[in-house]
Amino acid sequence: MTLLTFLDHASVFVFALTGALVASRAQLDIVGFVFIASLTAVGGGTIRDVILNRDTVFWVANPTYIGVAAAAALGVFFTAHLLESRYRAILWLDACALAVAVPAGVAVALTMGQPRAIVVIMGITTGCFGGLMRDVVCNEVPLVLKQGELYVTCALAGAGAALVALAFGLATPLALLICAAATFALRAGSLAFGWRLGVYKAYPPRQ
């Protein structure tokens, strides 16, 4: 298993956990859990592959990804009642998933020899769009849009860190590791310590 395959599997598994937890908040049945978990798990990577016009979307080439997502959904269906707060679990698992999905997107774009701007955008796309689709379909406030939290910023910083590491001559696997660490550190800091950028304020907001 290559590093890229590992990152893709890990991101599918952890995003599927978040999708299943959101399905539990919407009180769906077991097939609904698998559906939302799969949508969340492969959504970002599918958009990445379609936009980059890869010959085959990653989970069509290798359908075990869907099996991984389904297994995660079943696990959540039978154990979610043990969690004290499903919402906090979603937040932190989503942070982990973001931290593996961003380097997965970066790695695919690097492998295809894309220019640096596209590498960064594919990191952000792979990281953010699965969760965005989950939240739009299930009518939750998209994490991407939560005021006073860093989200897209973490993906942007992680992808940027990978490019800086590569520019300093580090090997790709190390650069991807730095990408994951930077993404997670920033997101975790935002969740735990309230790190944020200044938001646009005007009153009334919806003027």
> Which residues are at the interface with its own copies (CB under 8 A)?
23-35, 46, 50-53, 55-57, 60, 63, 66-67, 77, 80-81, 85-87, 114-115, 117-118, 121, 124, 128, 132, 136-139, 141-142, 144-145, 147-148, 150, 152-153, 156, 196-202, 205-207
Residue 14 identity = V
- Whichever of 52 and 191 has its CB closer to its own copies, that residue is 52
Rounded to a whole number, what is the largest CA-CA distance in the chain? 53
Q: How far is the CB of 106 from its own copies (least distance, A)?
A: 15
DSSP for 106-175 reads HHHHHHTT--HHHHHHHHHHHHHHHHHHHHHHTTPPPGGG-TT--SHHHHHHHHHHHHHHHHTT--HHHH
Q: How far is the CB of 173 from its own copies (least distance, A)?
A: 25
**What is the distance between the alpha carbons of residues 196 and 207, in angstroms, rounded to a whole number?**
24
Q: How far is the CB of 145 from its own copies (least distance, A)?
A: 6
- Whichever of 114 and 172 has its CB closer to its own copies, that residue is 114
**What is the distance between the alpha carbons of residues 14 and 167, in angstroms, rounded to a whole number?**
30
Q: How far is the CB of 171 from its own copies (least distance, A)?
A: 25
- Whichever of 26 and 174 has its CB closer to its own copies, that residue is 26
Is the separation of the CB atoms in 105 and 183 below 8 Å?
Answer: no
- Whichever of 6 and 25 has its CB closer to its own copies, that residue is 25
Q: How far is the CB of 52 from its own copies (least distance, A)?
A: 7
Q: How far is the CB of 207 from its own copies (least distance, A)?
A: 6
**Cα–Cα nearest to 20, from 39, 30, 33, 35:** 33
- Whichever of 1 and 141 has its CB closer to its own copies, that residue is 141
**C-alpha distances in Å from residue 179, one per residue of 31, 51, 58, 132, 161:** 34, 22, 21, 21, 6
- Whichever of 139 and 169 has its CB closer to its own copies, that residue is 139
